[in-house]
Amino acid sequence: MFGKLTWQAIPLHEPIPLISGIAVYLAVIGLVVWVVIKGYGPYLWREWITSVDHKRIGVMYCILAAVMLLRGFSDAIMMRAQQALAFHGGGYLPPSHFDQVFSAHGTIMIFFVAMPFVIGLMNFAVPLQLGVRDVAFPTLNSVSFWLTAVGALLVNLSLVVGEFSRTGWLPFPPLSELRYSPGVGVDYYCWAIQISGIGTLITGINFVTTILKLRAPGMSYMRMPVFCWTALASCLVIVAVFPILTATLAMLLLDRYLDFHFFTDTAGGNSMMFMNLIWAWGHPEVYILVLPAFGVYSEVVATFSGKPLFGYRSMVIATMAICIISMTVWLHHFFTMGAGPDVNAVFGIASMIIAVPTGVKVFNWMFTMYGGRVRFTSPMLWSLGFIVSFVIGGLTGVLLAVPAADFQLHNSEFLVAHFHNTIIPGVVFGLFAGYTYWFPKAFGFVLDERLGKWAFWLWVVGFWVAWAPGYVAGLEGMTRRLQHYDNPAWHPWMLLSALGVLIILAGIVAQIAQLVVSIRTRAARRDLTGDPWDGRSLEWATSSPPPVFNYATLPNVTARESYWDAKQQPRETTQPITSEPDYEPIEIPRNTPVGFVTAFLATVTGFALIWHIWWMVVLGLLGALITFVVFAWRDRTEFVISADEAARVDRANRAVRAESLLALAR
Amino acid sequence: MSAESHGNYAEYDYAAGSYVGGDRPRGAQPNIEAPPLRRELGGYLLGFALAILLTIASFWVAHTHSIYGPALAVGLLVLAVAQMGIHLIFFLHITTDPDNTNNVLALAFGVLIVCLVVFGSIWVMTHLNQNMTPASMEQLMRMQG
Amino acid sequence: MSTEVLRAPMSPSQLVPRAAAAGAPPQVTGHGAGGPASKRIIVGYGFWVFLLSDVIMFSSFFAAYSVLFKNTAGGPTARELYDLHNTALETAFLLTSTFTCALASIAVGQRSQKWTQIALACTAVLGVGFLTLEVREFARFVALGAGPSRSAFLSSFFTLVGCHGIHVTVGLLWLTTMMAQFYVKGFRTDIRHRFLCFTLFWHALDIIWVAIFSLVYLVGTLPPGFLP
């Protein structure tokens, strides 16, 4: 009746998942009760859950990422504790659990922290920077978000119902085949990623279309902010490679469910093909993550140096070059699998070439700062921490690109240190910089700077204390993912690493404190002008937060930094920044529950597929079909904001802005 | 600038200050209306006919010995690509019109990725397979064959 | 446009679109700087990008098929199994359905309900015919002991060709929904946009089939010496 699902699936005999499961369950119930009691339900449904507004969806993506960061980081603490303790002993985590922990850690951090955070920032900022009202397909945007949330939900569900995958963040066969992983873990992983992968692909299509076809009048390609260029490059890579992930995981699922033989070790299967295809996706994936982070740095460094970004054209060329080259280097993840010197050499050289456009970008950021008046706000600190740390991580990457060196260091702690060294200072610092930078625009008040700086220093120091030992241990021969070890040379490094993770924990506590304190004192830190940082791009011309329609009239863009140029007019005149436009009625797409309903059905179908509850699968798919048809039958898709209403909102914002600008000028 | 000079662009209603039949966002470009019936039908008929010809050619080539043997696979690939081109031009309306540049660029990007994935995989996997130690007599014999 | 760029300094009022100069319609540059594109272009382009992503997914299956083609695990080979007469018939059905779909788009352009429904019905019938032939082929293979579990080669064949078949099935569901929508709601703009997406989808499926019949069926039945 319920397929493979029985009461044994609940981990009553395993304290860690049991206790954490109960704690999360109580927290969720508590949250729901609080929402119901306070009467926030209808508001949340109307304004957030069914919203198709890119600003709201962007915020929801970031909230999802932040919550999952806590889960992924708990896994990190568990792993570091285990490796610190498990010298000449078993530590506290049995191997089967340790395997699930490191698999969950990687899966959650890449798919449910980094991706949603990056997509959230793109969602929030890109339409505002392009001077338009929303993305090309707002309803699909909502569907994308909810499908990503389903993936996160399924992964977390595996903690309390069943088990998670033990095969690492990429499920290599033959270990991930049914014969060697008969449990539901790999299925949880595969279906969670397949479902959220559809959401990500839709996002990629949405943003490529938006950036290429939906920009304010006058905004030619070379007048777009660099963040939009990096968003475009990242989304082009998403569109190019996520189908490969979908196909490859589908092949693995076919092997597991229908006894196909793509990657099995019998009947002619070739498990090396999985490696080939999955890394053809996997390497471009990290560029999907890092390119928007580079875009954030471009915005932040230019703004806080008080200068236009140096070398705009070369930045654009470097971005698009990285976009293309990133899809030609994937074999460097399996130099040791035996393709031979010719193949290894070609991919090794390509992997080194890709460092060149990245270097161009780093020099451009440095030249932007040179001769500028640098303000060391926390977004700028995150960017500086990035430049110093990421360059080192990138250099270790170039070192690993040499096949002969990689033969020594493949799958060692050196490798683990390298990719954390590129992802944390590269992607995560960029996300934190973007979060701090755009927070006032999203919520109307600035985050506490002091706590922000504390968070930065704790993160950057903690990061180096945690990961520098990894390089040493790797060079001393330590392999990755060890549940226990006997080599005394590695032990002190593992202890140091655990200390580092505790320092990072303090950094995360500082970030949580920053948010709580800022919300508490938000009245005192209101951003009235909409432009708290003296910004350069169009989003700072709106109020904080912007009205639902972003711009009462689409701005007429005549230069690369239209808003900055407009501000350079003498500020002591009594004229507001822009003269009043001719207001016209504005059409806004209607909110719709289709994203949420799709997510619900996807959860049901995914869960049913994992546990082999076939009748539930059929019901779920039927529900999806009915939902599509019902949704397609809609007649009213938009509502109109009258010209008077738009005028009223806009005039109020202008008045506030004019007043505070005058106050500044006095 | 009058609407007529844009050829087959939608009509602009000066009184209303917008394009007729507006289904466009504020400040958006006009719709491109359908070309005349005869020209459109002729285009589709020609595309259909060419596609049929190329299909027959593919089947015929695979069966007769008109093409040098080892080149057959490549010949079939070329015919397939030609037929895909016919579909793209006649049915999907991919042209070299400046308004179509984004579509052509997207197509080129897609073709690049397809080539990287397919030919890259074949190249990599052939080398990997070559370097595998033979697991069975069958493979040993095939190696010697 | 160019003279405005040369005029300096930038005045704040230039962030605001000036009142329509003598009521002229907005300039159409065709290069993206003319403001947001029309809904039809946006929808068409977005769907085109989706189609390209779908083609890339098929290419992954093609790559797997190419790599695993020789891994027959002692079981039936392509040359033994493929029936080219069936393939030719399937090709005829699908190619003709692409043509009838194009006729349907002419009918929609002419706003003719009768011809739209007729052309779409023909497309549907031909599509169902294609699927019937394909399902019968799969059933024949399974009956011969050449199901997808027999070998890696057969797994990859069934997946590649089966994936195309699933896309055709989804396309038929979409097609019937479109027929119903045109019938009930007429030629409303948003329904015509969806139909544009459908025609792109249907033509793309035929493009994929060209690759399949050429590189899977025709190449697969070449004598062993001529295989790449």
Please count the residue pairs, one from chain B and one from chain C, whose beta carbons lie less than 8 angstroms apart. 169
Q: Tell me, yes or no, whether C134 lies in a domain.
A: yes
pLDDT in tens, B92-101: 998 888 778 8
Residues A308 and A246 in one domain: yes
**Is A75 an annotated catalytic residue?**
yes
Nearest CB to A272; choose among B116, B123, B128: B128
Q: Tell me, yes or no, whether C48 lies in a domain.
A: no
Which residue, A489, A505, A526, sits at the end of a domain?
Answer: A526
H or E segment at A588? strand A586-589
Q: Does C18 touch chain B (CB under 8 A)?
A: no
Residues A448 and A458 in one domain: yes
Q: Tell me, yes or no, whether C127 lies in a domain.
A: yes
Residue tagged 């946006």 (tokens): C42
**Is A326 an annotated catalytic residue?**
no
**Do C5 and A204 make contact, defined as CB atoms within 8 angstroms?**
no
> A50, A54, A75, A111: which is the annotated catalytic residue?
A75
> A230, A298, A305, A383: which is the annotated catalytic residue?
A298
- pLDDT at residue A505 is higher than 80: yes
pLDDT score at B9: 33
Q: Tell me, yes or no, whether A59 lies in a domain.
A: yes
**Is there a cis peptide before residue A292, judged by omega within 30 degrees of 0?**
no
Residue length, chain C? 228
> A80, A215, A418, A441: which is the annotated catalytic residue?
A418
Q: Tell me, yes or no, whether A11 lies in a domain.
A: yes
Min Cα separation B87/chain A (Å): 22
Of all residues in chain A, the one with the smallest CA distance to C8 is A565
Residue tagged 């395997």 (tokens): A99
- pLDDT at residue A62 is higher than 70: yes
Q: How far apart are CA C196 and CA C176, in angstroms?
A: 15
Measure Cα distances from A644 to A467, A650, A652 in Å. 58, 10, 12
Cβ within 8 Å of residue A7, ≥6 positions away: none
Residue tagged 């509850």 (tokens): A613
Residues A108 and A209 in one domain: yes
pLDDT score at B22: 41
pLDDT in tens, chain B (145 residues): 333 333 223 344 444 444 444 444 444 444 455 567 888 899 999 999 999 999 999 999 988 867 787 788 899 999 999 999 999 999 999 888 877 889 999 999 999 999 999 999 999 999 998 888 776 666 666 666 4
**Do A578 and C46 make contact, defined as CB atoms within 8 angstroms?**
no
Query: Residue B103: its chain A contacts at CB < 8 A?
Result: none
Q: Give, in degrees to the nearest 5, the angle at Cα C130 between C203 and C96.
A: 50
Q: Tell me, yes or no, whether C116 lies in a domain.
A: yes
Q: Tell me, yes or no, whether C34 lies in a domain.
A: no
Give, as one character, the DSSP assignment of residue B139.
H
Residues A18 and A94 in one domain: no
Q: Tell me, yes or no, whether C62 lies in a domain.
A: no
**Is A449 an annotated catalytic residue?**
no
Q: Which of B1, B4, B24 to mutate to test the interface with C (most CBs of C within 10 A)?
A: B24
Q: Count helices and strands (H / E) in chain B.
A: 4, 2
**Do C67 and A273 make contact, defined as CB atoms within 8 angstroms?**
yes
- pLDDT at residue A632 is higher than 50: yes
- pLDDT at residue A519 is higher than 60: yes
Q: How far apart are CA A248 and CA C56, in angstroms?
A: 12
Residues A29 and A87 in one domain: no
- pLDDT at residue A441 is higher than 60: yes
**Is A141 an annotated catalytic residue?**
yes
pLDDT score at B137: 64
Cβ within 8 Å of residue C136, ≥6 positions away: C86
Q: Provide Rg for chain B, Cα atoms.
A: 25
Residues A129 and A8 in one domain: no
- pLDDT at residue A379 is higher than 80: yes
pLDDT score at A650: 86
**Is A471 an annotated catalytic residue?**
no
Which structure tokens are listed for A247? 């196909």
> A419, A443, A596, A631: which is the annotated catalytic residue?
A419
Which structure tokens are listed for A621? 């798919």
Residue C104: name the closest of C189, C181, C205, C175 by CA: C175
Q: Tell me, yes or no, whether A635 lies in a domain.
A: no
Q: How far apart are CA C77 and CA C154, in angstroms?
A: 8
**Do C103 and B44 make contact, defined as CB atoms within 8 angstroms?**
yes
Query: A5 or B23: whose pLDDT is higher?
Result: A5
Give, as one character, the DSSP assignment of residue B36.
P
pLDDT score at B26: 42
Q: Tell me, yes or no, whether A536 lies in a domain.
A: no
Q: Tell me, yes or no, whether A350 lies in a domain.
A: yes
| Domain total in chain A | 2
Residues A501 and A371 in one domain: yes
**Do C10 and A215 make contact, defined as CB atoms within 8 angstroms?**
no
pLDDT in tens, A138-161: 999 999 999 999 999 999 999 999
Q: Which of A126, A198, A251, A262 to mutate to test the interface with C (most CBs of C within 10 A)?
A: A262
Measure Cα distances from C166 to A83, C39, C156, C171, C203 in Å. 47, 29, 15, 8, 15
**Is A261 an annotated catalytic residue?**
no
Range of the domain at C191: 92-220
Residue A596: name the closest of A568, A623, A564, A636 by CA: A623
**Is A298 an annotated catalytic residue?**
yes
Number of C-beta neighbours around residue B130 at 10 A: 11
Nearest CB to B73; choose among C45, C74, C222: C222
pLDDT in tens, chain C (228 residues): 333 333 223 333 334 443 333 333 444 444 567 788 888 899 999 999 999 999 999 999 999 999 999 999 999 999 999 999 999 999 999 999 999 999 999 999 999 999 999 999 999 999 999 999 999 999 999 999 999 999 999 999 999 999 999 999 999 999 999 999 999 999 998 899 999 999 999 999 999 999 999 999 999 998 887 777
CATH of the domain at C127: 1.20.120.80
> A164, A188, A242, A287: which is the annotated catalytic residue?
A287
Q: Residue B13 in 3-state DSSP?
A: strand
Which chain B residues in 113-142 lie under 8 Å from chain C, judged by CB atoms?
Answer: 113-114, 117-118, 121-122, 125, 138
Number of C-beta neighbours around residue C30 at 10 A: 14
| Domain total in chain C | 1
Query: Residue C12: its chain A contacts at CB < 8 A?
Result: 566-567, 569, 575-579
Range of the domain at A284: 40-526
Q: Tell me, yes or no, whether A570 lies in a domain.
A: no
Residues A125 and A154 in one domain: yes
Q: Tell me, yes or no, whether C155 lies in a domain.
A: yes
What angle, 0 to 180 degrees and rounded to 10, lies between the N-to-C axes of helices A378-400 and A413-422? 140
pLDDT score at A547: 92
**Is A200 an annotated catalytic residue?**
yes
Residue A386: name the closest of A323, A432, A354 by CA: A432
pLDDT score at B21: 45
Q: How far apart are CA A81 and CA A91, in angstroms?
A: 8
Mean pLDDT of chain A: 94
Min Cα separation B63/chain A (Å): 29
- pLDDT at residue A224 is higher than 90: yes
Min Cα separation A254/chain C (Å): 9
Q: Does B128 touch chain A (CB under 8 A)?
A: yes
A589 has which bridge partners?
A638
Residues A290 and A420 in one domain: yes
> A165, A200, A230, A389: which is the annotated catalytic residue?
A200
Residues A21 and A152 in one domain: no
Residues A472 and A500 in one domain: yes
**Is A419 an annotated catalytic residue?**
yes
Q: Are A289 and A423 in contact (CB under 8 A)?
A: yes
Residue length, chain B? 145
Residues A15 and A89 in one domain: no
What angle, 0 to 180 degrees and rounded to 10, lies between the N-to-C axes of helices A226-258 and B101-130? 50
Q: Tell me, yes or no, whether C160 lies in a domain.
A: yes
**What ipTM describes this predicted complex?**
0.94
The pairs formed by C156-159 with CB atoms below 8 angstroms and a separation of 24 or more are C156/A262, C156/C61, C156/C64, C156/C65, C156/C68, C156/C69, C157/C65, C157/C78, C157/C216, C158/A260, C159/A250, C159/A251, C159/A254, C159/A260, C159/A262, C159/C61, C159/C64, C159/C65
Which residue, A526, A554, A589, sits at the end of a domain?
Answer: A526
